[in-house]
């Protein structure tokens, strides 16, 4: 049985302005500049630059209309618009009252990129130095096109034969492809076109001048690669009947090879994503000084031309339907421009307040640069400090960078969990990782310390943590197990 009834309930609803602000806060500097450019292109009532009208400056403090005005212009009558709210008698332009706090040598906004030859094209150009018939050239070109950015061909010859037939109309067999592949292996950089690490190292060693050390290195890679990767040095000494000095010299030859030959070329031509710090921290007279990147504080104003349109509508006696339609459009654009400018101001304030709280919370670290001075800090600590939501702090910390006297750091790296040491004090897990890293660096590489031994050493230093926790921290630091750290 169906019934109709009334029900009252309270619910939270984010306004378009709040959503816009949240999206702006999480953007790093470069992405923010792109968003700013997009808004300037889409809203003709919004302009950038110093020279502007003060007409709307006194109106930015409040959003004078609800979000419904922005979303549904059909419900607005032109007669209901208070045009005086959009006009002012103050004709002094903003540029006369604004101060420029940024020097002329601030960072450039446009980053020039040098054009270069792609890695694939570089390899293809070298094919012209070989004597290849048309069929071989097509196979070689396809193989070069299959080389990834590390310099490897990760696909089986059988798959390549099938692809050549289906996509290129070249019918061949594995033997023919392998014959051409050996010619591809002669291309530079050495090792390119290899199908695995063993083949890559072997190609590079065969290109070297044949000294006793190189000859032994070739035998190790070609005949005992598994023992070498597992660092079973005793087995290698027995297998090749050599001394420790000979083995050490051969391994030294191998360690100087490039496991990713493509990286040496491709890395120089890849468009690099430049990190632009959103904040800068300096030490001035023993005190920390925080600044927000000037590129996060653009000068925006509402278009004088659009305000003049509104003024013209007010002064006209006979208001036609087209004028009324136009004023509705103008109102929408003016409101959107005001909201965007207000969101930019709130973004600047939120970023600065949040980073300032983080800086003071980690004051000892920023003054010394010693990671062992990092205090345990979670998002809630900063949220409580500045009375903001945890999600807002997360948006600020994520993908934002700060320029410190010790390098450019990702802000979220300053956050870490805590644990209690043997004296009952709360310490950061970052501090423990730094000590663990130092202990491993200073160990005897002939007899590397096991995770069990590392746990014992940390316990002696006042950090009682379990072996499995040591293993977890070691993996997070990208440090291999003891057996793979062994050297002779």
- Give mean pLDDT in consecutive 10-residue pieces for the chain, a chain of 488 residues: 77 68 82 85 78 42 38 43 49 46 49 62 82 83 84 86 82 84 86 87 88 88 86 85 86 86 62 74 89 82 73 65 74 82 88 91 88 82 89 86 88 78 66 83 83 85 83 83 78
**Contact (CB, 8 A) for 390 and 379:** yes
Residue 109 lies in a domain: no
pLDDT of residue 52: 41
The token duo for 424 is 């009952």
Report how far residue 257's alpha carbon sits from residue 251's, in angstroms, rounded to the nearest whole number.
10
Residue 121 lies in a domain: no
CATH code at 458?
1.10.10.60
pLDDT of residue 354: 92
Residue 160 lies in a domain: yes
Burial of 452 by CB count in 10 Å (0-12 exposed, 13-18 middle, 19+ buried)?
exposed
End position of a domain, from candidates 166, 185, 204:
185
Segment (H or E) for 47: strand 46-48
Q: Are residues 88 and 34 in the same domain?
A: yes
> In this structure, are strands 407-410 and 426-428 parallel, antiparallel, or unpaired?
unpaired
pLDDT of residue 353: 92
Place of tokens 């790093």: 28
Domain that holds residue 152: 131-185
Strand order through the sheet with 407-410: 287-292, 279-284, 401-404, 407-410
Cis peptide bond upstream of 189, omega within 30: yes
- CA neighbor of 55 nearest in space, from 103, 89, 29, 96: 89
Q: Are residues 304 and 374 in the same domain?
A: yes
């Amino acid at each position: 049985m169906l019934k109709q009834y009334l029900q009252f309930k309270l619910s939270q609803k984010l306004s378009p302005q709040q959503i816009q602000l949240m999206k702006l806060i999480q953007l790093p500097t470069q992405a923010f500049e792109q968003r700013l450019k997009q808004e300037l292109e889409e809203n003709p009532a919004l302009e950038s630059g110093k020279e502007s009208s003060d007409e709307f400056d006194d109106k930015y403090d409040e959003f004078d209309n609800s979000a419904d005005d922005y979303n549904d212009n059909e419900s607005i009558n032109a007669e209901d618009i208070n045009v005086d709210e959009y006009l002012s008698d103050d004709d002094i332009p903003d540029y006369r009252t604004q101060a420029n706090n940024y020097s002329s040598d601030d960072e450039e906004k446009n980053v020039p990129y040098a054009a270069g030859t792609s890695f694939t094209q570089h390899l293809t150009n070298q094919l012209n130095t070989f004597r290849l018939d048309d069929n071989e050239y097509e196979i070689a070109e396809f193989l070069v096109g299959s080389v990834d950015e590390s310099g490897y061909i990760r696909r089986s010859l059988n798959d390549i034969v099938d692809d050549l037939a289906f996509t290129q109309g070249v019918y061949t067999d594995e033997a023919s492809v392998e014959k051409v592949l050996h010619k591809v292996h002669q291309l530079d950089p050495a090792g390119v076109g290899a199908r695995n690490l063993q083949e890559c190292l072997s190609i590079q060693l065969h290109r070297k001048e044949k000294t006793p050390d190189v000859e032994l290195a070739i035998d190790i890679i070609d005949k005992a690669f598994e023992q070498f990767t597992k660092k079973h040095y005793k087995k290698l000494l027995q297998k090749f009947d050599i001394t420790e000095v000979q083995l050490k010299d051969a391994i030294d030859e191998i360690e100087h090879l490039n496991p990713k030959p493509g990286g040496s070329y491709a890395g120089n031509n890849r468009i690099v994503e430049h990190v632009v710090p959103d904040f800068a921290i300096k030490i001035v007279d023993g005190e920390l000084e925080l600044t927000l990147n000037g590129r996060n504080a653009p000068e925006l104003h509402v278009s004088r031309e659009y305000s003049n349109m509104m003024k013209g509508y007010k002064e006209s006696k006979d208001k036609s339907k087209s004028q009324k339609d136009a004023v509705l459009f103008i109102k929408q654009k003016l409101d959107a421009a005001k909201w965007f400018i207000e969101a930019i101001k709130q973004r600047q304030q939120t970023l600065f307040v949040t980073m300032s709280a983080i800086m003071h919370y980690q004051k000892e670290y920023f003054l010394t640069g010693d990671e062992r001075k990092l205090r345990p800090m979670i998002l809630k600590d900063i949220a409580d400090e500045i009375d903001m939501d945890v999600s807002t702090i997360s948006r600020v910390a994520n993908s934002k960078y700060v320029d410190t006297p010790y390098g450019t750091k990702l802000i979220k790296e300053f956050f870490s969990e805590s644990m209690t040491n043997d004296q009952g004090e709360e310490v950061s897990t970052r501090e423990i990782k730094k000590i663990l890293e130092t202990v491993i660096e200073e160990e005897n590489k002939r007899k590397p310390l096991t995770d069990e031994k590392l746990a014992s050493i940390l316990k002696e230093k006042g950090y009682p943590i379990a072996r499995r926790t040591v293993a977890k921290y070691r993996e997070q630091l990208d440090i291999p197990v003891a057996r793979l750290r062994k050297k002779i």
